[in-house]
Amino acid sequence: MELKLPTPEQLRLVYDRDLREAFPQAELKPLANMEKMWSEGWYKPYCLFEGEEILGEAFLWLGHPGWALLDYLCVSPAARNGGLGAAMLKELSRVEADSVIFGECEAPEDAPDPEMARRRLGFYARNGLRTAGYETSMFGVHYQTLYLARGEVDEAALMEEHRFVYANTFAPDKFARYVRIPYDPDQGPGEKVEWQQ
C-alpha cells in the first residue's frame, strides 16, 4: 500500500464514492474548492493505493511550510474495519515527517452522536494524536483540536497556524462570522451552516 496523490479523475471518483458517503453535506467542501486549492498549492489530497485501487483518503489543507490541517480521513466503504485508518495515519506521518499535522474532531458534548464522537477521539489517541489545549468552532460545529508531531509543539504557534489555514482561504467577513479559534464556550458554537455558504 502506498499513500500518494491521485490524478484529477481519481480525486473526482473518491469524492463521489467515499467522501459524499462518509461526511455530512454541511462538513464537506465542494469538489471545485478542493481542486482549486490543490492547483494553487494549498491542498494535498492523498489517497491510499493498493495497486490501482484506492482504499482510502487523507486530505491535507496546507498552511505555512511545516504545518497542515488533516481535512478529511476516510476509508472506502468496501475496505472499512480492517485497520486502514490507522495505516493511513502512520503513512501520513512518514510522508509528511517534517510537518505538524493538526485536525478537528467533533466534541462529544455537542455532537449529534456523542458516543461516535468519543470513539473517533479514542481512535486518534490510539494512533498517536495528542489533544491540544484549545477547541474550535467551524460553521457552527464544536471541535476538539488534535495534532500529530514528532516532538513537542508550541500550542500558541499551533493555534496561530490553525487560524492561518482558515484566514488564508476565507474572506475576512466569512472568517469572522463562522470560524472561532479558539472556541469560547460562553458564546457557543455559533450558527450552523454548510461550508459553501
In a domain, 137, yes or no: yes
In a domain, 23, yes or no: yes
pLDDT tier at 196 (50, 70, 90 boundaries)? low
In a domain, 30, yes or no: yes
Residue range 117-138: mean pLDDT, rounded: 95
In a domain, 190, yes or no: no
Domain of residue 26 covers 2-180
Percent of the chain past pLDDT 90, that is, above it, reads: 79
In a domain, 27, yes or no: yes
How confident is the model over 69-103, as pLDDT tens digits?
999 999 988 878 788 999 999 999 999 999 999 99
The CATH number for 71's domain is: 3.40.630.30
Residue range 173-178: mean pLDDT, rounded: 92
Full 3-state SS string of the chain: CEEECCCHHHHHHHHHHHHHHHCCHHHCCCHHHHHHHHHCCCEEEEEEEECCEEEEEEEEEECCCCEEEEEEEEECHHHCCCCHHHHHHHHHHHHCCCCEEEEEEECHHHCCCHHHHHHHHHHHHHCCCEEEEEEEEECCEEEEEEEECCCCCCHHHHHHHHHHHHHCCCCHHHHHHHEECCCCCCCCCCCCCCCCC
Q: ∠8-40-91 over CA atoms, to 5°?
A: 60
pLDDT at residue 156 greater than cutoff 80: yes
How confident is the model over 52-61, as pLDDT tens digits?
999 999 999 9
pLDDT tier at 194 (50, 70, 90 boundaries)? confident
In a domain, 194, yes or no: no
In a domain, 197, yes or no: no
pLDDT at residue 197 greater than cutoff 60: no
Domains in the chain, number: 1
- Return mean pLDDT, the chain: 93
In a domain, 175, yes or no: yes
pLDDT tier at 28 (50, 70, 90 boundaries)? confident
